Amino acid sequence: MASIEMRNIVKQYGDGYPAVNDVSLDIADGEFMILVGPSGCGKSTLLRMIVGLEDITSGDMVIGGKRVNDLAPRERNLSMVFQNYALYPHMTVFENIAFPLRLSKTPDDEVRRRVQEASDVLELKEHLERKPANLSGGQRQRVAMGRAIVRQAEAFLFDEPLSNLDAKLRGQMRTEISRLQRRLGITTVYVTHDQTEAMTLGDRVCVLRKGKIQQVASPRELYEQPVNLFVAGFIGSPPMNFLPASLEGTTLSTPFGPIALDEQRAAAVRGRDLLLVGIRPEYFEDASLVDEAKRPLGSTFRARVDVTEWLGDSQYAYIPYEAPEAITAQLRDLSRELDSEELRTQAIVSIDSTSRIREGREAEFWLDSRKIHVFDPQTGENLTRDAEAGARLTQMATEDRVEQVEHAQSTGQTVSGQSSGPSGAHRATA
Amino acid sequence: MRYLFRPPGTDGARLLALPWQLPLEEWPPELLLEVPQRGISRHVVRFVAEQGRVFALKEISEHLARHEYALLAEFEAEGLPSVSVLGVCVDRPHGQDAILVTRYLEYSMSYRYLFSRPSARQSVDQLMDTLVVLLVRLHLAGVFWGDCSLSNTLFRLDAGALAAHLVDAETAERHPQLSRGQRHYDLDLARERVGAELLDLQFGGLLPDGVDPIEVADSLQGRYASLWDEVTHEEVFRTDEQRYRVAERLQRLNDLGFDVGEIELVTDDEGARLRVETRVSAPGQHRRELMRLTGLEVQENQARRLLNDLRSFRAYLEQKEGRPVSEPVAGARWLAEVYQPVIESIPAELAGRLAPAEVFHEVLEHRWFLSEKAGRDVGTTAAARSYLRNVLPSTPEELTTPSVIATRP
């Protein structure tokens, strides 16, 4: 196991286009790091540079304290999981896991020890002597993971491993990967374009855009304290709503009525003619269902509902609003870049599933003004980001990880020879 | 449902009546053809025959199906040895995966067959060299295979030699040029997969004694490195050696099965520097020549062999008739008087075990062997008769190509 450090990594192709542009990122020993972003953001290129598939134009790639820029893929001792999930019909499950060790002529007793340990973690112990023909879809995938485990690689790398699986198996595998990573405490880098995978799997998530890092933080920090419009729009489903606004005194004037800011936040956004207010769908509520005690913490407004969507446990209302052309065009560009459905000038608000608000009628809504963010439409910068609160969220995630890894190790669930002990896991970066 | 297929569209149109709405696993057996020559696949794969042509159907996600469809079409256009893709069926009901349709590579053999027969004519060395030629060719073309294995390769006999064809491009990626890391990684993957596939045969008791899976897998690295060097290295020599050194290099590349596109020779006071740009497609001059003269579509070595026979037939005609015979006339007469009679004399029960051109090649080999023994030329007719009686029947029946099985009465 090892940490992975990237220092000012640049990947420039022949035509001069920088696919990865000055990326510096530290992945702690034992950490689960997600690289996420829309297509063309450079996430796969970055992963390939870690593996050694792409030459690094400039910068340093350091794995386990050793600069690996000029090492062949094999010499880096990393494991691309799921690269080979062919199952060989004449070999038992044991041999299907063991063969990478057979090929490297590992002594028999060592092979036995490592396969036993891997199969314990993967709960394949009962199946070791069987032929693979009768394994379920999930068990087959676990055999592929077993091959990666017995190699005792420095880190696991995943390149969109679930994108070709059906929805059910995808959910199952997500859980398996997460559980396995915790039990092994192995450094993991995982590339995806799917923000659900990013949010549910990673200790930290690195959001990339056009080859540059936008933000590296825990899923909760990304969600609650995004650094800019891009991250705010990329993380969250349904996405954050963006409303045009202007500041008068300490009050934002928006299509959904005035929203009061405290003096500190008002000061941070002052001096700009046009602003964008970001409000997540769940910061809204049907005003008639809001607790009296909570009501004064937000503002209320009346609006006509275009469509409602009742999903049983939740409900969404769609509220169109007016926006100046400049804002409309910018939102269109943003949604195009995010490969998402168009962020129309229509707010998606979450209301209680018991709400009687109906489409085509006007209704009163409440919004929690404490949780809104205000963005500079020109630069995209989040003007109201609370960096300290964000750091606290990521620190909490780090502590959770350390505790989980320690728990797994103290209860003997890990594979020996893979864990460098809790000291490795403590090397957390916030 | 939506069908996309490439011309000639008649092949595709014939397949439209199949039950595409059903999962491949549920297709009625009477529509399917058993094909023994195949590797391990992680997807559901089925074979169908339609008017004497055989197609392979593979169920995979739409994204992968479209990717593979586009790549295989490119490979075919560029002359890379791969299976030929016909089309894809997408938007199947109930959110089912897409189906990719490829044309079955007739007269091909899987590694399982080649390795598991101790009497096989082809040695393990030959097989590995053939696989490496394919990998080097793909790498020259900027293709990262990502899953180079024996299962994803089919082998065909080409006048006694083997030729390897890529049958699965699901994981392949196209780049303007491959980095060293990509080539090495692809080779690492190949080594691991080949090793595992041979271990699997060994566990199944199908590998001949004396073949060590690990040794064979490990040998890929060296074979690849020397072939890559051979086709790409820059040579430096004295100017006075120039002429024969260039000729030597070109001959060597041709012997290895590569064609040269462009030669760059830079000379200065120090000497000459030679760089060759190797074509990614397999050489095809003989194939095209034979096609032009006879309309026969065969592989390169077979074509060279057949052309040699055609030329000696032309010389024989000119001598007999005492006047020049044009190439096209000789071609037409050779086809009608020499080639076809041999092919037509293959008994129905032996048809399809070897490609017709391969049978003809073997007849010529047999003729040489008989003539040597008899001390005189026995002639093609006698050689064919003896070959069909004594040699061809020992070619295993399981080699019979699916299209012939499909058209049996």
User: What is the per-residue pLDDT across A72-105, written as a single tens digit (0 to 9) for each?
Assistant: 999 999 998 876 578 999 999 999 999 999 999 9
Omega within 30 of 0 (cis) for the link into A73: no
Query: Is the interface score ipTM higher than 0.90?
Result: no
Q: What confidence score (pLDDT) does residue A282 get? A: 94
Q: Do A88 and B60 touch (CB under 8 A)?
A: no
**How many other CB atoms sit within 10 Å of the CB of residue B384?**
24
Does A420 have pLDDT greater than 50? no
Given a contact cutoff of 8 angstroms between Cβ atoms, the answer to whether A85 and A140 are in contact is: yes
Report the residue from A53, A83, A99 with minimal CB separation from B199.
Answer: A99
Closest CA to B306 of B329, B281, B279, B339: B339
| C-alpha distances out from residue B146 to A83, B133, B169, B225, Å | 8, 16, 9, 18
CATH class of B2-103: alpha beta
CA torsion, points A50, A56, A62, A66, in degrees to nearest 10?
A: 110
Main-chain phi, psi angles of A292, to 5 degrees? -60, -35
Q: What gap in Å lies between CA A408 and CA A402, rounded to an integer?
A: 10
Domains B2-103 and B108-231 share a fold: no
User: What is the per-residue pLDDT across A247-256, written as a single tens digit (0 to 9) for each?
Assistant: 999 999 999 9
Best residue in B115, B147, B180 for a mutation probing chain A (most A CBs within 10 Å):
B180
Q: Do A164 and B176 touch (CB under 8 A)?
A: no
Q: What confidence score (pLDDT) does residue A412 get? A: 56
Q: Which helix (H) or strand (E) holds A308?
A: strand A307-310
Strands A32-36 and A188-192: parallel
Quote the DSSP letter at residue B337.
Answer: I
Over range A236-243, report the average pLDDT: 90
Report the residue from B180, B185, B200 with minimal CB separation from A88.
Answer: B200
Assign A422 a pLDDT band (cuts: 50, 70, 90).
Answer: very low
Report the residue from B42, B184, B188 with minimal CB separation from A85.
Answer: B42
Q: Do A91 and B193 touch (CB under 8 A)?
A: no
Q: What confidence score (pLDDT) does residue A334 get? A: 85
User: What is the per-residue pLDDT across B335-344, written as a single tens digit (0 to 9) for each?
Assistant: 999 999 999 9
Pair of tokens at residue A248: 């008068």
Nearest 5°: CA angle at B218, between B215 and B222? 120
Q: Do B179 and A53 touch (CB under 8 A)?
A: yes
Q: What gap in Å lies between CA B56 and CA A152, rounded to an integer?
A: 39
Assign A269 a pLDDT band (cuts: 50, 70, 90).
Answer: very high
Q: Do B40 and A88 touch (CB under 8 A)?
A: yes
Instruction: Decide if A169 touches B, using CB distance below 8 A.
Output: no
Closest CA to A152 of A428, A360, A414, A429: A414
User: What is the per-residue pLDDT across B141-166, written as a single tens digit (0 to 9) for each?
Assistant: 999 999 999 999 999 999 988 899 99
Does A411 have pLDDT greater than 50? yes
Does A343 have pLDDT greater than 70? no
Over range B273-284, report the average pLDDT: 80
Over range A186-205, report the average pLDDT: 92
Alpha carbon A325 to its chain's center? 32
Q: What confidence score (pLDDT) does residue A426 get? A: 38
Question: Residue type for B234, please?
Answer: E
Over range A345-358, report the average pLDDT: 90
Instruction: Decide if B201 touches A, using CB distance below 8 A.
Output: yes
Does B321 have pLDDT greater than 70? yes
Residues 6+ apart with CB under 8 A from B268: none
Instruction: Decide if A107 touches B, using CB distance below 8 A.
Output: no
Plot region of A37 (φ>0 → left; ψ -120 to 50 → alpha; else → beta): left
Assign B121 a pLDDT band (cuts: 50, 70, 90).
Answer: low
Q: What confidence score (pLDDT) does residue A415 get? A: 53
Superfamily of domain B108-231: Transferase(Phosphotransferase) domain 1 (1.10.510.10)
Does A196 have pLDDT greater than 50? yes
Over range A320-341, report the average pLDDT: 82
Q: Do B195 and A52 touch (CB under 8 A)?
A: no
Q: Do B40 and A73 touch (CB under 8 A)?
A: no
User: What is the per-residue pLDDT across A103-113, written as a single tens digit (0 to 9) for each?
Assistant: 999 999 999 99
Instruction: Decide if B185 touches A, using CB distance below 8 A.
Output: yes
Closest CA to A124 of A138, A106, A113: A138
Does A389 have pLDDT greater than 60? yes
Does B303 have pLDDT greater than 80? yes
Of all residues in chain B, the percent with pLDDT exceeding 70 is: 97
Q: What confidence score (pLDDT) does residue B50 get? A: 86
Does A427 have pLDDT greater than 50? no
Instruction: Decide if A164 touches B, using CB distance below 8 A.
Output: yes
Question: Residue type for B7, please?
Answer: P
Nearest Cα of chain B lies from the Cα of A163 at a distance, in angstroms, of: 9
Alpha carbon B228 to its chain's center? 20
Q: How many CB pairs under 8 A join A and B?
A: 84
B352: helix, coil or strand?
coil
Over range A23-48, report the average pLDDT: 94
Closest CA to B347 of B310, B303, B391, B379: B391
Q: What gap in Å lies between CA A364 and CA A167, rounded to an integer?
A: 38
Closest CA to A119 of A98, A105, A89: A98
Q: What gap in Å lies between CA A216 and CA A205, rounded to an integer?
A: 6
Q: Which residue of A has its CA nearest to B150?
A: A86
Over range B53-82, report the average pLDDT: 92
Instruction: Decide if A99 touches B, using CB distance below 8 A.
Output: yes
Q: What gap in Å lies between CA A94 and CA A116, rounded to an integer?
A: 8
Over range B117-140, report the average pLDDT: 83
Residues 6+ apart with CB under 8 A from B141: B78, B80, B280
Can you give the length of chain B in residues? Answer: 409
Assign B119 a pLDDT band (cuts: 50, 70, 90).
Answer: low
Does A322 have pLDDT greater than 60? yes
Nearest Cα of chain B lies from the Cα of A332 at a distance, in angstroms, of: 26
Pairwise pLDDT comparison (A304 vs B249), residue with the higher score: A304
Closest CA to B245 of B259, B233, B261: B233
Q: Do B181 and A84 touch (CB under 8 A)?
A: no
User: What is the per-residue pLDDT across A62-79, written as a single tens digit (0 to 9) for each?
Assistant: 999 999 999 999 999 999
B342: helix, coil or strand?
helix
Q: Which residue of A has its CA nearest to B144?
A: A53
Best residue in B203, B206, B207, B212 for a mutation probing chain A (most A CBs within 10 Å):
B203
Pairwise pLDDT comparison (B119 vs A119), residue with the higher score: A119
Pairwise pLDDT comparison (B325 vs B408), residue with the higher score: B325
Domains defined along chain A, listed by start? 4-78+153-221 (3.40.50.300), 228-382 (no CATH)
Question: Residue type for B253, please?
Answer: L
Q: Do A95 and B203 touch (CB under 8 A)?
A: yes
Pairwise pLDDT comparison (B245 vs B389), residue with the higher score: B389
Q: Which of A236-240, B292-296, B356-360, B384-388 has the lowest mean pLDDT?
A: A236-240
Pair of tokens at residue B360: 């003809």
| C-alpha distances out from residue A359 to A282, A315, B365, Å | 19, 12, 85
Does A231 have pLDDT greater than 60? yes
Given a contact cutoff of 8 angstroms between Cβ atoms, the answer to whether B48 and B18 are in contact is: yes
Pairwise pLDDT comparison (B166 vs A413), residue with the higher score: B166
Going from N- to C-terminal start, the domains of chain B cover 2-103, 108-231, 235-278, 285-406
Question: Which residue is listed with tokens 């053809």?
Answer: B33
Own/partner long-range contacts of B260-265 (Cβ < 8 Å, ≥24 apart)? none
Q: Do B42 and A86 touch (CB under 8 A)?
A: yes
Chain B positions touching A89 (Cβ under 8 A) are 40, 200, 204
Assign B178 a pLDDT band (cuts: 50, 70, 90).
Answer: very high
Given a contact cutoff of 8 angstroms between Cβ atoms, the answer to whether A180 and A148 are in contact is: no
Assign A425 a pLDDT band (cuts: 50, 70, 90).
Answer: very low
Given a contact cutoff of 8 angstroms between Cβ atoms, the answer to whether A164 and A11 are in contact is: no
Q: Where are the beta strands (DSSP E) in B243-352?
A: 260-268, 271-278
Q: What gap in Å lies between CA A240 and CA B39, rounded to an integer?
A: 49
A289: helix, coil or strand?
helix
Q: What gap in Å lies between CA B220 and CA B125, rounded to an integer?
A: 10
Q: What gap in Å lies between CA A164 and CA A168, rounded to an integer?
A: 12
Q: What confidence score (pLDDT) does residue A330 get? A: 83
Portion 61-90 of B in contact with A at CB < 8 A: 61, 63-64
Look up the pTM and report it: 0.85
Instruction: Decide if B139 touches A, using CB distance below 8 A.
Output: no
Q: What gap in Å lies between CA B407 and CA B409, rounded to an integer?
A: 6
Given a contact cutoff of 8 angstroms between Cβ atoms, the answer to whether A62 and A50 are in contact is: no
Question: Which residue is listed with tokens 């003989």?
Answer: B286
Dihedral (CA of B11, B14, B19, B20) sign: positive
Residues 6+ apart with CB under 8 A from B225: none
Chain B positions touching A163 (Cβ under 8 A) are 63
Nearest Cα of chain A lies from the Cα of B72 at a distance, in angstroms, of: 19
Best residue in B184, B201, B206, B207 for a mutation probing chain A (most A CBs within 10 Å):
B184
Chain A positions touching B149 (Cβ under 8 A) are 86
Does A172 have pLDDT greater than 50? yes
Report the residue from A55, A84, A100 with minimal CB separation from B181.
Answer: A55
Best residue in A17, A51, A53, A70 for a mutation probing chain B (most B CBs within 10 Å):
A53
Pair of tokens at residue B36: 């023994």
**How many other CB atoms sit within 10 Å of the CB of residue A41?**
25
Kindly write down the DSSP assignment for every residue of B339-350, as one continuous string: IHHHHHTS-GGG
Nearest Cα of chain A lies from the Cα of B224 at a distance, in angstroms, of: 16
Instruction: Decide if A255 touches B, using CB distance below 8 A.
Output: no
Nearest Cα of chain B lies from the Cα of A46 at a distance, in angstroms, of: 14
Nearest 5°: CA angle at A311, between A308 and A316? 35
Q: Which residue of A has its CA nearest to B186?
A: A53
